[in-house]
Amino acid sequence: MTELPAGQRNAIGVTLGLLGDEWSLLILREALLGASRFVDWRARLPISNAVLTARLSRLTDAGLFVRGNGYRLTERGADVWSILLSIWAWEDRWVPGHVERLPGRVHRLCDKPFDPVLVCSACDAAVVASDRSLAGGFGPSGSWERSVPEATTRRRSGGGEVGSLNAGLFPETTALIGNRWSAALVGAAFQGVHRFSDFQRCLNSSPTMVADRIRTLCSLGVLSDDYRLTAKGLAFFPVVMCLVGWAQRWYRAAEGPALVYRHVPCGADFVAALDCSTCGDRLARKDVVPTS
Ligand SMILES: [Zn+2]
Ligand SMILES: [Zn+2]
């Protein structure tokens, strides 16, 4: 757990700055699948030496890897598995003609293919964005300003950093959370924002930037013409909640959590967990087996 100073970026802002990046997500995915040496990532991803070096050192500085004989995932690094599994399932279901054919996945305990199901860890009930079973929102360190990651010093154009072309392996996820404005916009949409002026106020960004991000999300079919989340957009909820869960397990601002949710049906504080759609058991990282 990293303590964040009062008044600065909260757990959400820090996490989006770190994981709202396609290369970092891909590097972590390959690490979970066994990559641990520089050459492993170079062989598995269309990534340049410079980009790989920069991302590995950033993720190591943030405590997701430790250096030794190569790079080993820490508990914090390995804990991103639920975010990646949710992304994998969403892309599998909602992104037609995926450039990279995604492998299937089998649950070791029931030995069957499955989808991850977002549940309340206290009562095990399934939670979907549209059922309004979660109450709450910003906690003591929560605010839009503190939840949007800091701007990188490097200039961005077209959503990608200069010198590091997007891999294109998670194109739609990258469009949703691979850019600080997109991520904040998606977060705002899940909090019920659907007017242009409200998006602009939450993001405290230029109308041009907001219009550009909204246009992208509309073209992907994530937002409808009246700026509300579509079925495809609502289905991204498990990714968002797993990201929020990871953020708040590993970072805490001096004032307290950034987001606080209660699961209304059971009354417990909501903590996201994933169950197997086939057997209903709680999923654990070691029990998720990719199949070709
Ligand atoms: Zn519950
Ligand atoms: Zn199962």
**pLDDT tens per residue, range 235-269:** 999 999 999 999 999 999 999 999 999 999 999 99
> Which ligand lies nearest the alpha carbon of 108?
2
Distance 81 CA to ligand 2 centre (A): 17
Task: Give residue for tokens 């579509």.
Answer: 230
CA dihedral 210, 215, 164, 251 (to 10 degrees): 50
Give the pLDDT of residue 172: 87
> Which ligand lies nearest the alpha carbon of 127?
1
Average pLDDT, the chain: 90
Tell me: pLDDT of 197 over 70: yes
Distance 103 CA to ligand 2 centre (A): 17
Give the pLDDT of residue 94: 92
Structural domains in the chain, sorted by start: 2-291 (1.10.10.10)
Q: Averaged over 223-246, what is the pLDDT? A: 96
For the ranges 113-127, 150-164, 194-208, the lowest mean pLDDT is seen at 150-164
Count of alpha carbons within 13 angstroms of residue 111, beta-carbon side = 0
Question: Which of 48, 4, 256, 1 has its CA nearest to residue 149?
Answer: 4
Give the pLDDT of residue 216: 92
Phi and psi angles of residue 273, each rounded to the nearest 5 degrees, phi first: -145, 165
Give the pLDDT of residue 89: 92
pLDDT in tens, 109-121: 999 999 999 999 9
Distance 139 CA to ligand 1 centre (A): 19
Distance 262 CA to ligand 1 centre (A): 8
> Which ligand lies nearest the alpha carbon of 267?
1
